[in-house]
Amino acid sequence: MAKYEAVFILDPRKIEGNGEAFSGTIEAEIKKIGGEITRIKCLEKKVFARPIGKHNAGVYWDYIVDSDAEFVEKLNEKYQLNSSVLRLAVFHYVDGQDDDIFKPREERLFKAENFQDDMFGDDRSYRYNKR
């Protein structure tokens, strides 16, 4: 058994709301394939940096699944031709790898370690015009 992260990008024009009903069908299919879901997270509708075909936005759903190695192939076969799914990506998942991402916003911003003490160090002499 291995842990996988499956990220679905759904077409917002073909699903209702955030796609919670469609997510239910995804859950049922994952269980049918033999996967055990440990986390489900809707990451809301997001605008793409680059369009996917004629689509400029999509609804993201993130699933963490315990399953065997054949899970990825079976899941891709099932949703390869589904017109409601714009993209499907499956990754190996390591526990705790995304803990910072799902923290509340206040905990992520303005930490002291995110700032440099000295903005203009002596090691950047190329910035100064020497004559």
Tens of pLDDT, residue by residue over 47-79, are 999 999 899 999 999 999 999 989 899 999 999
**Of the given ranges (34-43, 44-53, 112-121), which has the lowest mean pLDDT?**
112-121
Strand positions, DSSP E, the chain: 2-10, 36-52, 55-67, 85-92
User: Residue 52 and residue 13: Cα distance in Å, rounded?
Assistant: 14
The pTM score is 0.72
Angle between helix 20-33 and helix 71-79 axes, rounded to 10 deg: 140
Q: Write down the CATH superfamily of domain 2-117.
A: Ribosomal protein S6/Translation elongation factor EF1B (3.30.70.60)
Highest mean pLDDT among 13-17, 107-111, 114-118: 13-17
pLDDT over threshold 80, residue 15: yes
